[in-house]
Structure 1
Amino acid sequence: MAGDIVKNIGDGDFSKEVLESDKPVLVDFWATWCAPCRAIAPTVEALAKELDGKVKFTKVNVDDNQQTAQDYGIRSIPTLLVFKGGKVVGQLVGAAPRDRIKDAIDKAFA
């Protein structure tokens, strides 16, 4: 469900890929059975291409990585979290439109 530009990560590499990143990171919490998750995937991919080199885009499958989902209180999917400096600086729950996702990312640069 993720292309080359959006990296699938899990419990084992979440800290390295997200918390220790020197760039802002968007984390898409999703599952294969989630229709809204599949619906926003092309938007996330397009933003990843647009912001390549400025923002890291990752996906966490909540079925396969329950510890990370639990650690961040993920109760509904899709949930998008934006991290900067290892801290959550933005959150969107549900199939948000492109503009809302982009706004959440832009706030990480403010």
Structure 2
Amino acid sequence: MMKEPKTIDITSRIQSEETFVLYGYAPICANCQIAERMLDIVSEMKGVSYTSMNLNYHKDLIETYEIRSAPALLLFREGKLVREVYAFQSVPHLTEVFDEFLVDE
């Protein structure tokens, strides 16, 4: 099991990296497990890495970015939140989301 990243480390990466993908989940959320499987497939296809965070430990980030539910996919560019995805729907849908996100690089 991976160690939970600290809020300060996530915030630092959001601010310092050109693009940053953050996946928020809740351990007891069945939809989150399915969403992460889809995200794994798409991130591997697109060669994009992401950081996972257990939303139970990041109240400050939930408030700052107004995260409404789990699962949550937050896409950042140059320190700014550019897109949020709460309904993962399908692998093709997530592929389109990443295609749009990566085109703007």
Distance, in Å, in 2 between the alignment partners of 1:82 and 1:8 is: 19
Q: What CA deviation, in whole Å up to 9, does each residue of 1:4-44 have, x standing for no partner?
A: xxx9533121122223113x222111110111101111111
Scaled by the length of structure 1, what TM-score is found?
0.78
Structure 1 SS opposite 2:43:
helix
Scaled by the length of structure 2, what TM-score is found?
0.81
Contact 1:91–1:104 (CA<8 Å) still a contact in 2? Answer: no
**What is the aligned residue count?**
103
User: Where does structure 1 differ by over 6 angstroms across 4 or more consecutive aligned residues?
Assistant: none
**Seq. identity, %:** 21
> How do residues 47-62 of structure 1 correspond to structure 2 at under 5 angstroms?
47-52=42-47, 55-62=48-55
* More strand per residue: 1
Q: What CA deviation, in whole Å up to 9, does each residue of 1:46-96 have, x standing for no partner?
A: 2222223xx331112110111111111012111111111111122111343
Segments of structure 1 that go 5 or more residues without pairing to the other structure are none
Segments of structure 2 that go 5 or more residues without pairing to the other structure are none
